A and B are shown apart, each in its own frame.
Chain A
Amino acid sequence: MSDYVLEARNIIKTFPGVKAVDDVSLEVKKGEIMGLIGENGAGKSTILRVMNGLYKHGTYKGKIYVNGNEVKFSSPHDALLKGIGFVPQEINVMDDLTVAENIFVGHLSSDKSSFTSPNVLSKRAADFLKKNKINLVPQMRVRMLSIGQKQLLMIARALSWNPNVLILDEPTTALSNEDVDNLFHIVRDLKERGTSIVFVTHKLEEIVSLTDSVTILRDGKKISTYQKKEYNTNKIVTDMVGREISNMYPKRRTNIGEEILRVEGLTVEHPRIQNRNLIEDIEFNLNKGEVLGIAGLVGSGRSETLGAIFGQLHHKKGKIYIDKKEVSISNTGDAIKNGIAMVTEDRKNDGLLMLANIKQNIVLSNLKKIIKALRIKKSLEEEVANSYMKKLKIKATNAQTMVVNLSGGNQQKVVLAKALNSEPRILMLDEPTKGIDVGSKNEIYNLINDLVEMGISIIMVSSELPELLAMCDRFVVLAGGKVTGQLDKREATQEAIMLKCCL
């Protein structure tokens, strides 16, 4: 009777003070890949939680239909039994169990018996993985898997319930390009076998290359839906942001000066495996006023290189020169004293003090600045925080706002403000635009340009090659913990860099 396998009709979900989802309807056809795109805070996660039963029936307004029949989910498990599979954004697997156990957790035993044996389970998992063309070894301990493999494992776990609809919430955030290709392959195969997919992402390229239709949310409302033949990236971006971004990657005046940083033979040992190095003989330099891009796949040693320069990781060998003088950096305090600051990749785990407000976060990197006669001067603290809030256009009521209440983009700006407050000459940015929306990305790019014009030199790591290519003056490519190539702006293309990444 119904064309749709899953339908959400006129969903309204309010939280104290905000309407997170305002009268949104979504329809998923059988065997289609539906894209769902929107900035942070657009209401994507909220509507997903309604559709997968995390917000149970009665806590929102509106109706959910599966195959034309109204359903009232009481929990994610209930939704799963009614054919809605969900793969959350964060990796959530049991590291000490095997792949097979992870896949079938929740229905480990067959219907006939309440016992299960590892061999039977492995056999079941092997058949299941083969059917779904997922390349994982059932007996393997999950701890040994890469992030990409864990992502596939989570998909396998959801698929083991034979869902009609599989919802993937930003599944590619942590994946390397290779893993993304692999994932797309699996998703297309599922589609062919009749499973519908809801694919949530920030990335336009993924929408264009993978999905059959796309729905755009903004500020809790549905803005538009396009079919594949109507796709127009400019239109999609405009709908997402609510304004046109004419200049996604802004240009800057470059004025590259003398060498400010050089590393030679930088080597960091693997913390657990003997005779293995995380990075080996890393060598490159950075000039004043330059943005140096570090490219490489996940696990190629990009973050470790930054960590070693910043004194987070102990380097067994190697030298670091600043202004052509050798410096000794054995902890982060040394690095900051030498004018280096860092913005890490993982905002949730090492970006912000979540129990503190904006002010307390920003001043942390330079407490000396606000101390008068041994005590913290409130007025100075306020002044420092306010100046950065203004400079970086941080949107919040005031400096006393708790950082947990900020959007992803604004949180990232607070992280940046904290780094800048130590008044660095060299700023290292590890995936500075990960998980933030297009509008905020554009603001971060503009900010990078402003900083460079102020004379700060930048080292930037990013998995998004278009972003890296557009923003950097020069590139160092890493693979397997070693430098495999250095390219200047003229030579650098996505292909040229990828080629070196896979060396």
Chain B
Amino acid sequence: MNTNIKRPIKGFVSAIKRILAVQEVTVLIPLLVLVGIVTAINPVFVDPGNLRALARMFSAWGLLAIGETFIILIGEIDISVGSMVSFATMFLAYMIAMLGLPLYLAIILTIALTVALSLINGLCIVKLKIHAFITTIAMLNICRGAARVLSFARSIKIYGLEGTEGFSRFGMAEPLGTNWAFVIFIALIIVGQFVLRKTSYGRKIYATGDNKNVAKIAGINIDRVKISTFVISGVMVALTAILLLAKQGTANPNFGQGWELMIIAATAIGGISLVGGSGSMIGTLIGVVLFATISNILILLEVNQHMQSVLTGIIMVLSVIIDIRRRNKLLGNAA
């Protein structure tokens, strides 16, 4: 009789253990705890209106985190995406408002621009072997400057211009009570997870991030794989710029300022190892949501906004420590 009772308990314990062994769950737990506490203090948090606001908040830069995930998984880093968004948004607005180009053409040219800029990042890192940090910090400055040069450091408004009505409607639409940016973000997270886990391209990314020599010996063209992750990131930048301009109706040279750090923090929190080779798109989703939740909570709790920055830094360090300990535990068995 005893055994009958024990067995389901044992099964339950092992099930819990299995669930906890999945890397992403370690991130999910603090998120759930946080949500629980905050809901207890301020029930407004779980209000549908607030949740929608939350979704809108992170969907603006969530797409960039998807691109950054690929780059970090492969063992590189890109800190230029925030200012590249600013430049791309300005470029798009300039072509519509100043040059009067048709919308579709302006969008195509914007995608071409960001892909080209990301390609330059990738080529400098892979072919010229300049450190990713140096390369993209240079690109950050170039893009931030270029955005200001283009508009004489002012904003460019496209809202209300002839031919942009549909564009503005798209930006203000509320599919599923949120916005298109959110829907696209979730869709691409799913696509990204599939690509990483189920395709040979995904395997090549993990292999290159884990050990590029091994990947090379297995016949993988690691240069091409590395550059491709930058191209993906470039496409994400263009998408973000388009969605941002559609929603705001104005391009501001200060768009995207500081986003790169938020993005990297979110991926680190989501368990993407900053030295490459481990993590998943679901991790990024959790990291982005957690990050946005914290900011939202701090606003609800009326904490000083600048405190958010302090807390983000602390959480980021904690996540990196967790990652290093996990890695050491795994690799430590080798000795």
Contacts from A to B (Cβ < 8 Å): 45, 310, 312, 331-333, 335-337, 342, 344, 349-356, 360, 363-365, 367-368, 371, 374-376, 402, 404-405, 418, 422
Contacts from B to A (Cβ < 8 Å): 194, 198-200, 203-204, 206-207, 210-211, 213-221, 277-278, 327, 330-331, 333-335
Closest Cβ neighbor of B219 among chain A residues: A336
- The answer to whether B334 and A331 have CB atoms under 8 Å apart is no
Q: Which of A45, A344, A349, A404 contacts B333 (CB 8 A)?
A: A404
Closest Cβ neighbor of A348 among chain B residues: B334
- The answer to whether B216 and A332 have CB atoms under 8 Å apart is yes
- In the complex the two chains form, what is the Cα distance from A337 to B218 in whole Å? 11
- Given the interface pairs A367-B204, A405-B333, A418-B218, the reply to whether A353 lies near B199 with Cβ below 8 Å is no
Instruction: Return A397 CB to nearest CB of chain B, in Å.
Output: 14
- In the complex the two chains form, what is the Cα distance from A355 to B331 in whole Å? 8
- The answer to whether B204 and A350 have CB atoms under 8 Å apart is no
Q: Which of A331, A364, A376, A404 has the most CB of B within 10 A?
A: A364
Could you list some 17 contacts between A and B, CB below 8 A?
A: A310-B217, A312-B217, A331-B221, A332-B220, A333-B220, A344-B217, A350-B213, A350-B217, A353-B206, A353-B207, A354-B334, A355-B206, A356-B206, A364-B203, A364-B218, A375-B198, A405-B333
- The answer to whether A404 and B220 have CB atoms under 8 Å apart is no
- The answer to whether B214 and A352 have CB atoms under 8 Å apart is yes
Closest Cβ neighbor of A403 among chain B residues: B334
- The answer to whether B218 and A355 have CB atoms under 8 Å apart is no
- In the complex the two chains form, what is the Cα distance from A95 to B278 in whole Å? 30
Q: Which of B200, B210, B213, B214 contacts A376 (CB 8 A)?
A: B200
13 further A-B contacts with Cβ under 8 Å, apart from A368-B200, A405-B333, are: A333-B219, A350-B213, A350-B216, A353-B214, A353-B215, A354-B330, A355-B277, A360-B206, A364-B203, A364-B207, A375-B199, A404-B330, A405-B334
In the bound complex, residues from chain B placing their C-beta under 8 Å from that of A371 are 199-200
- The answer to whether A332 and B198 have CB atoms under 8 Å apart is no
Instruction: Return A443 CB to nearest CB of chain B, in Å.
Output: 21
- Given the interface pairs A333-B219, A350-B213, A404-B334, the reply to whether A376 lies near B207 with Cβ below 8 Å is no
Instruction: Return B271 CB to nearest CB of chain A, in Å.
Output: 13
Instruction: Return B7 CB to nearest CB of chain A, in Å.
Output: 23
- The answer to whether B330 and A355 have CB atoms under 8 Å apart is yes
Instruction: Return B251 CB to nearest CB of chain A, in Å.
Output: 38
Closest Cβ neighbor of A333 among chain B residues: B219
- Given the interface pairs A402-B330, A405-B333, the reply to whether A354 lies near B221 with Cβ below 8 Å is no
- The answer to whether A342 and B330 have CB atoms under 8 Å apart is no
Q: Which of B199, B210, B221, B333 contacts A374 (CB 8 A)?
A: B199
Q: Is the interface of B mostly helix, strand, loop or mixed?
A: helix
- In the complex the two chains form, what is the Cα distance from A344 to B330 in whole Å? 23
- In the complex the two chains form, what is the Cα distance from A404 to B327 in whole Å? 11
Instruction: Return B151 CB to nearest CB of chain A, in Å.
Output: 43
Closest Cβ neighbor of B212 among chain A residues: A350
- In the complex the two chains form, what is the Cα distance from A45 to B335 in whole Å? 9
Instruction: Return A494 CB to nearest CB of chain B, in Å.
Output: 31
- In the complex the two chains form, what is the Cα distance from A356 to B211 in whole Å? 10
- Given the interface pairs A360-B203, A376-B200, the reply to whether A335 lies near B334 with Cβ below 8 Å is no
- In the complex the two chains form, what is the Cα distance from A45 to B334 in whole Å? 12
In the bound complex, residues from chain B placing their C-beta under 8 Å from that of A45 are 335
- Which 4 A-B pairs rank lowest in CB-CB distance, beginning with the nearest? A350-B213, A367-B200, A336-B219, A365-B218
Instruction: Return A404 CB to nearest CB of chain B, in Å.
Output: 4
- The answer to whether A356 and B210 have CB atoms under 8 Å apart is yes
Q: Which of B198, B210, B335 contacts A354 (CB 8 A)?
A: B210
- Given the interface pairs A374-B199, A376-B200, A404-B331, the reply to whether A335 lies near B219 with Cβ below 8 Å is yes
Closest Cβ neighbor of A408 among chain B residues: B334
Instruction: Return B214 CB to nearest CB of chain A, in Å.
Output: 5
- In the complex the two chains form, what is the Cα distance from A360 to B217 in whole Å? 15
Instruction: Return A344 CB to nearest CB of chain B, in Å.
Output: 6
- In the complex the two chains form, what is the Cα distance from A17 to B163 in whole Å? 71
- Given the interface pairs A371-B200, A375-B198, A376-B198, the reply to whether A364 lies near B214 with Cβ below 8 Å is yes
Closest Cβ neighbor of A404 among chain B residues: B334
- In the complex the two chains form, what is the Cα distance from A310 to B216 in whole Å? 10
- In the complex the two chains form, what is the Cα distance from A376 to B196 in whole Å? 11
In the bound complex, residues from chain B placing their C-beta under 8 Å from that of A335 are 219
- Given the interface pairs A355-B277, A376-B203, A404-B334, the reply to whether A364 lies near B215 with Cβ below 8 Å is yes
Instruction: Return B215 CB to nearest CB of chain A, in Å.
Output: 7
- In the complex the two chains form, what is the Cα distance from A418 to B330 in whole Å? 21
- Given the interface pairs A360-B203, A371-B200, the reply to whether A422 lies near B211 with Cβ below 8 Å is no
Q: Which of A333, A335, A367, A376 has the most CB of B within 10 A?
A: A367
In the bound complex, residues from chain A placing their C-beta under 8 Å from that of B220 are 332-333, 364
- In the complex the two chains form, what is the Cα distance from A342 to B211 in whole Å? 16
Instruction: Return B124 CB to nearest CB of chain A, in Å.
Output: 20
- The answer to whether A332 and B219 have CB atoms under 8 Å apart is yes
In the bound complex, residues from chain A placing their C-beta under 8 Å from that of B203 are 360, 363-364, 367, 376
Instruction: Return A440 CB to nearest CB of chain B, in Å.
Output: 17
In the bound complex, residues from chain B placing their C-beta under 8 Å from that of A312 are 216-217
- The answer to whether B217 and A342 have CB atoms under 8 Å apart is yes
- In the complex the two chains form, what is the Cα distance from A402 to B218 in whole Å? 18
Q: Which of B194, B334, B335 has the most CB of A within 10 A?
A: B334
- In the complex the two chains form, what is the Cα distance from A356 to B210 in whole Å? 8
- The answer to whether B211 and A350 have CB atoms under 8 Å apart is yes
In the bound complex, residues from chain B placing their C-beta under 8 Å from that of A310 are 217
Instruction: Return B217 CB to nearest CB of chain A, in Å.
Output: 6
- In the complex the two chains form, what is the Cα distance from A418 to B220 in whole Å? 13
Closest Cβ neighbor of A364 among chain B residues: B218
In the bound complex, residues from chain A placing their C-beta under 8 Å from that of B194 are 375
- The answer to whether B217 and A332 have CB atoms under 8 Å apart is yes
- In the complex the two chains form, what is the Cα distance from A422 to B206 in whole Å? 19
Instruction: Return A486 CB to nearest CB of chain B, in Å.
Output: 27
- In the complex the two chains form, what is the Cα distance from A232 to B335 in whole Å? 31
Closest Cβ neighbor of A371 among chain B residues: B200
Q: Which of B210, B214, B333 has the most CB of A within 10 A?
A: B214
- In the complex the two chains form, what is the Cα distance from A366 to B57 in whole Å? 43
Q: Which of A344, A353, A405, A422 contacts B219 (CB 8 A)?
A: A422
Instruction: Return A354 CB to nearest CB of chain B, in Å.
Output: 6
Q: Which of B198, B211, B330 has the most CB of A within 10 A?
A: B211
Instruction: Return B266 CB to nearest CB of chain A, in Å.
Output: 22
- In the complex the two chains form, what is the Cα distance from A333 to B204 in whole Å? 13
Q: Which of B198, B213, B215, B331 contacts A349 (CB 8 A)?
A: B213
- The answer to whether A354 and B211 have CB atoms under 8 Å apart is yes
- The answer to whether A365 and B219 have CB atoms under 8 Å apart is yes
In the bound complex, residues from chain B placing their C-beta under 8 Å from that of A331 are 221
In the bound complex, residues from chain A placing their C-beta under 8 Å from that of B218 are 332, 336, 364-365, 418, 422
Instruction: Return B21 CB to nearest CB of chain A, in Å.
Output: 12
- Given the interface pairs A367-B204, A376-B199, the reply to whether A354 lies near B331 with Cβ below 8 Å is yes
- The answer to whether A333 and B221 have CB atoms under 8 Å apart is yes
